Amino acid sequence: MNAKTKIEDFPRFDAAEHLKDEGDIAAYLTVVLEENDASAFAEALGTVARARGMTEIAKAAGLGRESLYKALRPDAQPRFDTIMKVMQALGLQISVQPVAHV
């Protein structure tokens, strides 16, 4: 008899486990930014912060750890200054370029 595998038996994918260096982080955030979804970007920053250590990033950004978790959870709408503080704490910056028209 074939045993069925339940979805909850599979390990949960966590992108934070795959962000090994600055190149991985930059590529990940760039792809998310291209989706043009502010809440997805906030959540992606949360993933990066977890990969780097949420407590350390919160401290460097001048935020409480729990406040940072709340600001970067799915469907959060953090203030732009919060995003900039987290980016700086991560040693990252946002750059602007013109949109390529097809």
Euclidean distance between CA atoms 78 and 58, whole angstroms = 14
Q: How far apart are the first and last CA of the chain?
A: 55
Q: For helices 80-89 and 54-61, what crossing angle results, to 10°?
A: 120
Instruction: State percent of the chain over pLDDT 90.
Output: 50
| R_g of the chain, CA atoms, integer Å | 16
Q: Give residue-wise pLDDT tens across range 32-74.
A: 998 888 889 999 999 999 999 999 999 999 999 999 999 998 8
Under the banding of pLDDT at 50, 70 and 90, the label for residue 8 is confident
- Answer yes or no: is pLDDT of 2 > 70: no
- Answer yes or no: is pLDDT of 1 > 60: no
pTM attached to this predicted model: 0.78
